Amino acid sequence: MTETVSSLEADATLPIRQHVRKALLQLLARHTSPDQVIEYVSRSAADQKSAEARYADLLAALPFAVYTTDATGRITFYNEAAVALWGRRPVLGRDRWCGSWHIYTLNGAPLPHDRCPMAVAIREDRRIRGVTAVAERPDGTRVHFRPFPTPLHDANDNLVGAVNVLLDLGAA
């Protein structure tokens, strides 16, 4: 594919579903990293409502776990890959910080949700990288994962929420 994601954004004549399909195929064909997906999604976050509408289908179709929160950490969106990783469906607008049943550090210590990487990213308004943790599902199975929480801002640089990509690293 020779078109860039930027040229797809500029093509307003494409119906949204066609745009999303083409953008997703390009992202996957380029072996896109979580940071590249976050950059692509957050680029238009200045107009949050438009960005949410424009990218909801893209996020839902990604083959890795993605979820978003508002500025207070309440989960506002998650895709099916996140459900598979968490082993549950968090309640939108009520569950906070992360959809995992329980989280642990690599040495097995419990990690309270309000201290998880997403909570830190929102509280400190900064990207978190280089962390690996263990999620426990309601059925007791555990999985290693690497989170990429990234704050989102509006046109006035006010924190409006965050997006997180979770890479499933396999059974713990």
Comparing C-alpha atoms, which of 155, 151, 165, 164 is closest to residue 71?
151
Q: What is the pLDDT along the chain (172 residues), one digit of tens a residue?
A: 333 333 333 343 444 444 445 555 555 555 566 666 666 655 544 455 555 566 677 777 778 899 999 999 999 999 999 999 999 999 999 999 999 999 999 999 999 999 999 999 999 999 999 999 999 999 999 999 999 999 998 888 899 999 999 999 988 7
DSSP-based three-state secondary structure for 53? helix
Question: Can you name the residues that pair with 165 across neighbouring β-strands?
Answer: 66
Domains, the chain: 5-171 (3.30.450.20)
Residues ≥6 apart with Cβ < 8 Å to 147: 116, 117, 118, 128, 131, 133, 164, 165, 166, 167
- Nearest-angstrom CA–CA distance, 108 and 106: 5
Kindly report the number of other CB atoms within 10 A of residue 86's CB atom.
Answer: 23
Q: What angle do CA 77, 102, 111 make, to 5 degrees?
A: 105
Using an 8 Å Cβ cutoff, are 26 and 5 in contact?
yes
Please report the pLDDT score of residue 41 as a whole number: 58
Q: Residue holding tokens 């999620």?
A: 135
